[in-house]
Amino acid sequence: MKKSYRIKKEKEFQTIIHAKQSYANRNFVVYHLNNSENPHFRVGISVGKKIGNAVTRNRVKRLIRQSLFDLKMRIEPDQDIIIIARPNVVGLSQQDVKSNIEHVLGLANLIK
């Protein structure tokens, strides 16, 4: 994903999380906030140390990014989204990660 699609700053993460619009399933938690400044959505990904070592965390982040890339055309624009991985995500395949992300974004009404 391009850098313009990413949320990196801690202040932006906290703003979105404090808006308290969250949805979850067994593998992911999604926070979102409407942002009319950008013509497209932006995503922040958080994978904590409970998930595993650095190799495992980076693999999970790659799977999440690939799933978002596949769903890019269906995700609502003008949204800032934070995806937090839960420990159950370890060992899931790419297709499982994609279906779980699609499910939780559907719960949040962020997917067309």
Residue-wise DSSP of 13-74: HHHHHHTT-EEE-SSEEEEEEE-TTSSS-EEEEE--TTS-SHHHHHHHHHHHHHHHHHHTTT
User: pLDDT, tens digit, for every residue of 11-59?
Assistant: 989 999 999 899 999 999 999 999 877 788 899 999 999 999 999 999 9
Correct CATH for 10-108 of 3.30.230.10, 3.30.2350.10, 3.40.50.300, 3.40.50.720: 3.30.230.10
pTM: 0.91
Whether the Cβ atoms of residue 31 and residue 80 lie closer than 8 Å to each other: no
Segments making up each domain of the chain, as ranges: 10-108
pLDDT at 1 over 80: no
**Element holding 105 (H helix, E strand):** helix 94-107
